[in-house]
């Protein structure tokens, strides 16, 4: 594949990593499948805390053994002290696509930020908490 995806995943909870369960969520296994078909280049997973990043990294290690495949995944925050801004992370890793898997009330705020950074956005349902926000998101996406 000519243009591979450099993916930003916002959120590392149950839907993304299966956090709080013995399972792996929906997104992580899909990333391994995409890597098998060579669609993915690098992946960045952004969590709310260093502890969440460690839990996500442990899930990735478990899946790597199951799939017998490694993925270049970077975790943020990756230290307890220094935090990078979302725009710096996107630039550093040349992200071109995002999956937004965070609490529903944050979908609008972060989708708008990522669209302004020129990323393609896949937002888990519900898209947002109200119709006005949804229309604004769609209109901005159409402009990009």
Q: What is the domain partition of the chain in residue ranges?
A: 5-143
Tell me if the bond preceding 77 is cis, omega within 30° of 0.
yes
Q: What is the dihedral of CA 37, 65, 79, 84, to 10 degrees?
A: 10
Q: Name the average pLDDT for the chain.
A: 94
Cis amide leading into 49 (omega within 30)? no
Q: What is the pLDDT of residue 1?
A: 52
Q: Which residues of the chain fall below pLDDT 70?
A: 1-2
* DSSP-assigned states of every residue in 7-67: EEEE--SHHHH-TTSSS-TTHHHHHHHHHHTT-EEEEEEE-SSHHHHHHHHHHHHHHHHHH
Assign domain 5-143 to a CATH class: alpha beta
pLDDT of residue 79: 83
Q: Which residues pair with 121 in a beta bridge?
A: 98
Backbone angles phi, psi at 89, to 5 degrees: -65, -45
Nearest in space to 101 (alpha carbons), one of 42, 4, 6, 19: 19
Spatial distance between the Cα atoms of 66 and 131, rounded to a whole number of angstroms? 41
Q: Helix count (H) and strand count (E) of the chain?
A: 6, 5
Whole-number Å distance between alpha carbons of 69 and 42: 14
Does an H or E element contain 114, and which?
helix 107-116
Dump pLDDT digits (tens) for 15-57: 999 999 999 999 999 999 999 888 899 999 999 999 999 999 9
């Amino acid at each position: 594949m000519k243009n591979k995806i450099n993916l930003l995943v916002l959120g590392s909870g149950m839907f993304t990593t299966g956090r709080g369960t013995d399972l792996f969520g929906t997104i992580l296994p899909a990333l391994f499948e995409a890597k098998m078909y060579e669609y993915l280049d690098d992946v960045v997973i952004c969590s709310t805390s260093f502890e969440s990043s460690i839990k996500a990294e442990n899930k990735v290690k478990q899946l790597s053994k199951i799939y017998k495949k490694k993925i270049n995944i970077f975790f943020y925050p990756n230290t307890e002290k220094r935090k990078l801004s979302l725009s710096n992370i996107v630039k550093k890793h040349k992200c071109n696509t995002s999956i937004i898997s965070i609490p529903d009330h944050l979908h609008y705020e972060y989708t708008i930020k990522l669209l302004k950074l020129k990323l393609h956005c896949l937002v888990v349902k519900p898209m947002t908490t109200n119709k006005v926000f949804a229309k604004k998101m769609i209109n901005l996406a159409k402009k990009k």
